[in-house]
Chains A and B, each alone.
Chain A
Amino acid sequence: MGLSAYLTVSILLFTLGVICIISRRNVLYVLMGIEMILNASSINFAAFNRFNGGGLEGRMFVIFIIILAAAEAAVALAIVLNVFHLFHSVKPSEADLLRE
């Protein structure tokens, strides 16, 4: 398959991630959408790496993206649990202490 096939899958996955973030009202869906977006960018890096000679650079980017996603998921889960204890809700719109 050519490069454009992978780019199309990537752009569609990115779009689905953004739709997931803006259409659901639960913090966990926001996290899932972020994971989709990170995966889409990983596909892009891997595809460009493959069609540019298959060196190391693209792979390194993907590995660091995966590392960042793992760290982000751990911290985000801790924050979600804390926000839930504080507000008894997992809807982002209800965490509005600063507004008062």
Chain B
Amino acid sequence: MSNTHLQRAFYTLLALATLAAMARGLAVAGAQGLLFHGFAALTLGGAAMCIWERSVVRSAFSLMATFVGVAGLFLLLGNDFLAMAQILIYVGGVLALLLFGVMLTPPDLDERSLPRIGGATALLGAGVAFIISKVVGVGVRTWAVAPKLPEPTTRARDIGMAFLHPEQYVVAFELAAFLLTVALVAAVYIARRRRVDFQGETASSEGQA
């Protein structure tokens, strides 16, 4: 099968699976089921495309679908703050960094190896099927039945207060701030170019040795 056909078959399969999942969600749980299955399909479809695509740029962009889908799942779980943080940091920050990495390294086309993907899928698929059937499977019969949950009352203000409250998360908060400072300074230090660059000239930000 030629590459174009393979590509077309993959995307047709993905679209059909998405539509089927959303239709089933609408049938079993109404609007919430439709949204859940839509976001789940966005998440998993983006991840599958990321593995499948041959170009790194397209993989990175399909990862955006995964991040947005996870943000949607957070919304369905009543965590609006997390959804916004997810979109801001992952789509705005982590993905932009990944794209920098993609643009600064050479494109490696044609390196998708179907045997490796197939082998990994078969190996992990068996284990995952077992786990789903044994552990999660207890609840699969009640998959679409949402238990009666109280509306979440935590708001962004409570999260901010908890971060700075001496008896709650202030130590972890300060440690995270310290970690981010160290990580970003270290990233700048490591990424500074101070060795021979592509043309073989001695490029330097520290002067010639």
B206: Cβ under 8 A from any A Cβ? no
A11 and B79 alpha carbons, distance in the complex (Å):
20
A77: Cβ under 8 A from any B Cβ? yes
Question: Which B residues lie within 8 Å of A49 (CB)?
Answer: 77, 79
A23 and B59 alpha carbons, distance in the complex (Å):
14
Instruction: Give B contacts to A, CB under 8 Å.
Output: 29, 32-33, 36, 40, 43-44, 47-48, 50-51, 56, 59-60, 63, 66-67, 70, 73-74, 76-79, 81-82, 85-86, 89-90, 93-94, 97-98, 100-102, 104-106, 108, 111-113, 116-117, 119-121, 124-125, 128, 131-132, 136-140, 142-147, 149-150, 152-154, 158-159, 162, 168-169, 172, 176, 179-180, 183-184, 186-188, 190-191, 193, 195, 197
* Min distance, Cβ A11 to any Cβ of chain B, angstroms: 6
**A interface residue count range (under 10 / 10 to 19 / 20 to 34 / 35 or more):** 35 or more
Question: Which 3 A-B residue pairings sit nearest by Cβ, starting from the closest?
Answer: A4-B139, A71-B183, A78-B191
Question: Which A residues lie within 8 Å of B142 (CB)?
Answer: 2, 4
Instruction: Give A contacts to B, CB under 8 Å.
Output: 1-9, 11-13, 15-20, 22-26, 28-29, 31-32, 35-36, 39, 42-43, 46-47, 49-51, 53-56, 59-60, 62-64, 66-75, 77-82, 84-86, 90-91
A36 and B74 alpha carbons, distance in the complex (Å):
15
* Min distance, Cβ B190 to any Cβ of chain A, angstroms: 4
Closest residue on chain B to residue A16 by CB atoms: B47
* Min distance, Cβ A28 to any Cβ of chain B, angstroms: 5
Closest residue on chain B to residue A83 by CB atoms: B105
A84 and B73 alpha carbons, distance in the complex (Å):
36
* Min distance, Cβ B155 to any Cβ of chain A, angstroms: 11
Contact residue among B32, B51, B105, B113 (Cβ-Cβ distance under 8 Å from A19)? B51
* Min distance, Cβ A69 to any Cβ of chain B, angstroms: 6
Q: Are A67 and B179 in contact (CB under 8 A)?
A: yes
A53 and B149 alpha carbons, distance in the complex (Å):
8
Q: Are B136 and A59 in contact (CB under 8 A)?
A: no
Contact residue among B47, B111, B140 (Cβ-Cβ distance under 8 Å from A24)? B111
A54 and B152 alpha carbons, distance in the complex (Å):
6
Question: Which A residues lie within 8 Å of B147 (CB)?
Answer: 2, 51
Q: Are B98 and A73 in contact (CB under 8 A)?
A: yes
